[in-house]
Amino acid sequence: MHRARTAATALLAAALLTPLTACGNDSGKADDAKEKTTLTVLAAASLTDVFKSAGAAYEKAHPGTTVKFSFAGSQELAAQVRQGAPADALVTADTKTMDGLKQETAAPTVIAKNRLTIATAPGNPKKIEGLSDLSKDDLKVVLAAPEVPVGRYSKKVLDDQHVTVKPVSQEPNVRAVLSKVSLGEADAGIVYVTDAAAAKDKVATVTVPDAQNAVASYPAAALKSSRHSNEAADFVKWLTSPEAQNLLRSAGFQQP
């Protein structure tokens, strides 16, 4: 009888210890989960393609970190920051927008530059040769809205050449302009060189000479409201690294 009670006691003790051991393992997994970081980066629409590649490269080099992007026009991104949208870093397509957010960001760093081009239907059926042709009455031209960086750059180059354009629509970002042209809803539009390149054979391009062009600068900055301030700063710094810069160059962006 005594032996039976001893055996029963031992079994009971083992049964009680088993859940504790399991809880210990779960705690370890929870600790591992806590070490994982997700960075949310608000980025200009023109960075859509290259940043998908950059994000994958960054994650590979930084195990435990996931990068999620939210792409939109720079003015929309700025509005999100002012409204307190949870994010860790911001990359705009102009310095003006970033400069307007000095209270919300750490010191910005320019990571790339870009230029404008005229996008047309494949084969350029309207025989557009330059900016001056965009004023023709029989052309359907689409531009980005003036508050959008590419829209502001477009207005400047057109004004400098004394070209008056009556756009059939004004879009919220450069990708929307590109879409209108690629879908045949417009004959031409002014976009960034990199966006036209990303569209490949869906559009043709007409070069805007450097003397008539505008240079777009892309500043990046960590957000002061970030819950991962160190990691956000590391990501912004990485964007200036040789690996990131090679990706940007391959996508057609110019050196900062």
Judge whether residue 207 has pLDDT over 50.
yes
Q: In this predicted structure, which of 10-24, 64-78, 124-138 has the lowest mean pLDDT?
A: 10-24
Confidence (pLDDT) at 13: 42
Give the whole-angstrom CA distance, residue 95 versus residue 217. 6
Q: In this predicted structure, which of 31-35, 181-185, 238-242 has the lowest mean pLDDT?
A: 31-35
Residue 230 is encoded by which pair of tokens? 């160190």
Are residues 147 and 126 both part of a single domain?
A: yes
Give 242's pLDDT tier (boundaries 50, 70, 90).
very high
Q: What is the DSSP letter of 26?
A: H
Give 108's pLDDT tier (boundaries 50, 70, 90).
very high
φ, ψ dihedrals at 213, nearest 5°: -95, 175
Judge whether residue 191 has pLDDT over 60.
yes
Are residues 189 and 225 both part of a single domain?
A: no
Looking at the 3D structure of the chain, how many domains does it have?
A: 2
Are residues 201 and 225 both part of a single domain?
A: no
Confidence (pLDDT) at 23: 38
pLDDT in tens, 7-30: 444 443 444 334 433 334 444 444
Ramachandran area for residue 6 (φ above 0: left; ψ -120 to 50: alpha; else beta): alpha
Print the domain residue range for 178.
Answer: 114-212
Give the whole-angstrom CA distance, residue 112 versus residue 4. 78
Whether residue 86 lies inside any domain: the answer is yes
φ, ψ dihedrals at 45, nearest 5°: -55, -30
Q: In degrees to the nearest 10, what's the CA dihedral of 131, 137, 143, 145?
A: 120
Whether residue 18 lies inside any domain: the answer is no
Confidence (pLDDT) at 19: 42
Are residues 97 and 163 both part of a single domain?
A: no
Are residues 60 and 176 both part of a single domain?
A: no
pLDDT in tens, 143-173: 999 999 999 999 999 999 999 999 999 999 9
Whether residue 23 lies inside any domain: the answer is no
Whether residue 145 lies inside any domain: the answer is yes
Whether residue 133 lies inside any domain: the answer is yes
The CATH number that applies at residue 230 is 3.40.190.10
Are residues 140 and 184 both part of a single domain?
A: yes
DSSP readout, 68-123?
EEEEE-HHHHHHHHHTT---SEEE-SSHHHHHTTTTTB---EEEEEEEEEEEESTT
Are residues 140 and 197 both part of a single domain?
A: yes
Are residues 71 and 99 both part of a single domain?
A: yes
Give the whole-angstrom CA distance, residue 130 versus residue 165. 13
